[in-house]
């Protein structure tokens, strides 16, 4: 249970760019440091957080700014493109790209993933925009606005810097 709490605190610190949550995760791990040294196999959840604290956390955020148009091509895991009967939405394609960018570490404390919707109808309607809370809490997202022409992209933040990846 303590490992889950510490992991969530560490991931919140990366997602919200808030050092306070990182300190709380560190304090949670420190509270069990003697026991971890004696019996590490009993604290696998906390060890995952210790690794995240040491290596840092990669935050991959998909920014959805185009209309939810569909495409008839779906990228496969091997990078090839195949035709399918079911179209894929721009949102679903962006989610797939975000998960691919995060990779296997998304299942650990060393990566977080998010999706921010900055399409005009959603920015104007706070109730319908599920990413409004995240945008209000993270200083990196507060000023996101759709460009001309609008395009979807990813923000990949790690080690104190961010880069933009076009989709």
Residue 88's pLDDT band (boundaries 50, 70, 90)?
confident
Domain ranges for the chain: 2-55, 58-166
Q: Is the pLDDT of residue 122 over 70?
A: no
- Residue-wise pLDDT for 22-79, tens only, equals 999 999 999 999 998 999 888 988 999 999 999 999 999 999 888 665 555 555 555 5
CA distances from residue 124 to 66, 119, 131, 132, 145 in whole angstroms, order as listed: 15, 9, 12, 10, 12
**Residue 107's pLDDT is what?**
86
Grade residue 120 by pLDDT with cuts at 50, 70 and 90.
confident
Q: What's the chain's average pLDDT?
A: 83
C-alpha 31: how far from its chain's center? 27
- Identify the pLDDT of residue 124: 67
Q: 71, 73, 94, 93: which is closest to 82 by C-alpha?
A: 73
Return the pLDDT at 25. Answer: 96
Position 139 confidence tier, pLDDT thresholds 50, 70, 90: confident
Distance CA 46, CA 65 (A): 37
pLDDT for the residue numbered 134: 86
């Amino acid at each position: 249970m303590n490992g889950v709490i510490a992991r969530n605190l560490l991931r919140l610190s990366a997602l919200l760019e808030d050092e306070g949550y990182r300190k709380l995760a560190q304090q949670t791990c420190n509270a069990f440091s003697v026991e971890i040294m004696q019996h590490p196999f009993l604290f696998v959840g906390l060890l995952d957080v210790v690794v995240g604290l040491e290596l840092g956390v990669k935050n991959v955020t998909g920014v959805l700014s185009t209309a939810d148009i569909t495409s008839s091509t779906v990228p496969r895991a091997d990078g090839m493109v195949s035709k399918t009967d079911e179209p894929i939405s721009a949102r679903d394609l962006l989610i797939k790209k975000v998960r691919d960018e995060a990779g296997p570490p998304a299942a650990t404390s060393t990566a977080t993933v998010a999706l921010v919707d900055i399409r005009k109808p959603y920015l104007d309607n706070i109730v319908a925009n599920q990413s409004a809370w995240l945008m209000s809490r993270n200083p990196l997202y507060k000023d996101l606005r759709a460009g001309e022409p609008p395009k979807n992209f990813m923000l990949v933040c790690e080690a104190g810097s961010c880069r933009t990846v076009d989709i």
